[in-house]
Structures are given as C-alpha cells and as structure tokens.
Amino acid sequence: MTGDMYFVDVMTGDMYFVDVMTGDMYFVDVMTGDMYFVDVMTGDMYFVDVMTGDMYFVDVMTICTLLMLRQVICTLLMLRQKHNCFNDLYEWSRDHRVHHKFSETDADPHNVNRGFFFAHMGWLMHKKHPDVREKGLTVDCSDLLRDPVVRFQK
C-alpha cells in the first residue's frame, strides 16, 4: 500500500491521481485524453495535448513575477494619476462609468451641455452636480474595490 490517492469524477469520468510521497498531482481529461501534471515542489505545471503530442510547460515563478510586475506598474500609474489631480482611481472610474451611462444629462460629470470648457477641463474645477452624486451611487463598482491598488489609494 503506497498511500497514493485516486479519484474519478463520476459525472465526467475525469481521473485524478495524487502521489502522497511527493504531493505531485496528475489529472486526465477523459473526453480529450489530455493530461495535466503539477509538480508541487516547484509549482511548475505541465500539459500534454494528446491529439498533437505537444507538451506545454508553465513556470509558476514566471507567472508570479509577471503578476508582481503588473502590481508595480499599476502602482506607478496610480501615483501619476493622483499627481495630475484627477481624484482617486475609484472616484475617477465611477464618474467615468456614470458619464457613459447618463451621457449629456445633469448626471453626466462631463456634461457638454454645460459648455465646451466644462466638458474638457471645467469639471475638475467645479463642484459636482447633485445628480452626479445621486446617480453615482447606483453604478456598480464592486470590481474596482477588489483591486488592491484602488483599495490602497481610496
């Protein structure tokens, strides 16, 4: 008895295998015959396409590095945006969504009916119309609050 674990998904017929000694995980997609392998020690993932015989490799460290690089770039852009006096990211994004949803009404933060200058720069220098605040509460921005850079700046 090795202690290895086997699983079969009754609905799909897919098979899973876990090597208890190493922690490595294998997965076989019964419909396509494709095989997946995760090396738990390194976090590397392998994929074998049975139709073509091609083997693909994903280096998890590279993915983590790219995700960290994304966070650095987003943080630098956030600092640049704040330096230009466009409010915080959350407020700017919310107002942009309100602008598209309620275009050319009093609820539009960049309402061109209030003049060319107001539509392009004046909106930064004037208080918001009460309709902008009211309608801004109706726009869903929950996705923005999931971003750590937006949460940090807010």
Condensed to tens digits (0 to 9), the pLDDT of residues 32-43 reads 777 777 776 676
In the chain, which residues have pLDDT < 50?
1
Dist. CA 117–CA 115, nearest whole Å:
6
User: Considering the entire predicted model, what is its pTM?
Assistant: 0.51
Q: What Rg value do the Cα atoms of the chain yield, rounded?
A: 26
> Distance of CA 15 to CAs 18, 40, 51, Å?
10, 18, 18
Q: Where are the domains of the chain?
A: 5-58, 85-153
Whole-number Cα distances in Å, 17 to 24, 27, 28, 30, 56: 8, 6, 9, 13, 19
Q: Cα–Cα distance between 71 and 63 in angstroms, integer?
A: 13
